Chain A
């Protein structure tokens, strides 16, 4: 039941964003979303309660600005590396431990690592993210973690589990 309602709300939100707010459209979208939600809810593996609203606001206000800032930094970094004639890279693969437990938390962390300066997440194995790094600095995994994912871990730790 909870899954059905969650699926219904997600589908309806996407529909409203796509069509614009108009009563006829919302009623039609709600009807189609309800039917679809009843059919596909047994295949989805997520559900949420009222806590999601607070989480979403926290996510947008706290996490998104940091993320956009890091993304711009990453692009300037990669532009510098691509355009400089010597190609200053020192690539390597490192393992970064994470404390996040839920699938969604790990997913957001891996996406953030991919879009921040010089790092690309390859795989998630239990509690470790395998990361390709253009310019490896430091030797221990603690050092790697403090350079790659500490900011995001701290921010995400307060929002998702």
Chain B
């Protein structure tokens, strides 16, 4: 049981680190939001589930926290991306600029 929780926590930490790395590496705002959202959602799920396996009496609270993360995390990132879309950030513009600079 405790081994499962450690494995889940390590997986969560790895995905959270990958999320941060993705935000650093991706070229434009949408791709950064993508890398951030997905990795942090699964990372937080795994981390919190790991805590739940370590302390089984907290499991209902953990379930509630997971439900709230699943609802709010994508909505937050969609809102950020929507603001960028409404203010006219093109998805391919920055990518093309970068290719132009490379040549």
Contacts and interface: CB of A to CB of B under 8 A. Distances in A.
Given A78-B35, A114-B74, A87 B81 contact: no
Interface in B11-44: 15, 18, 21-22, 25-28, 30-31, 33-35, 37-39, 41-42
Contacts, number: 103
B31 A91 contact: yes
Interface residues of B, number: 37
Contacts of B18: 75, 78-79, 82-83
A91 B91 contact: yes
Interface stretch (A29-37, A115-123, A141-149, A150-158): A115-123
Given A91-B95, A92-B92, A71 B41 contact: yes
B34 A120 contact: yes
A33 B82 CA distance: 35
Interface stretch (A1-9, A14-22, A42-50): A14-22
Residues of B contacting A: mostly: helix
Contacts of A120: 30, 33-34, 37, 77-78, 81
B61 A78 contact: no
A101 B57 CA distance: 40
A123 B82 CA distance: 6
Given A82-B18, A91-B30, A111-B71, A75 B91 contact: no
B82 A122 contact: yes
Contact of B78 (A14, A74, A91, A122): A122
Contacts of B38: 71, 74-75, 78, 114-115
B64 A134 contact: no
Contacts of B3: none
Given A72-B42, A130-B85, A118 B63 contact: no
Interface string B51-68: 000000100110110000
List the 8 shortest-distance A-B pairs measured between CB atoms, nearest first.
A114-B74, A82-B22, A111-B74, A132-B30, A17-B64, A122-B85, A75-B42, A91-B91
Interface of A: 14, 17-18, 20, 71-72, 74-75, 78-79, 81-83, 87, 89, 91-93, 110-111, 114-115, 118-123, 130, 132, 134
Interface of B: 15, 18, 21-22, 25-28, 30-31, 33-35, 37-39, 41-42, 45, 57, 60-61, 63-64, 70-71, 74-75, 77-78, 81-82, 85-86, 91-92, 95
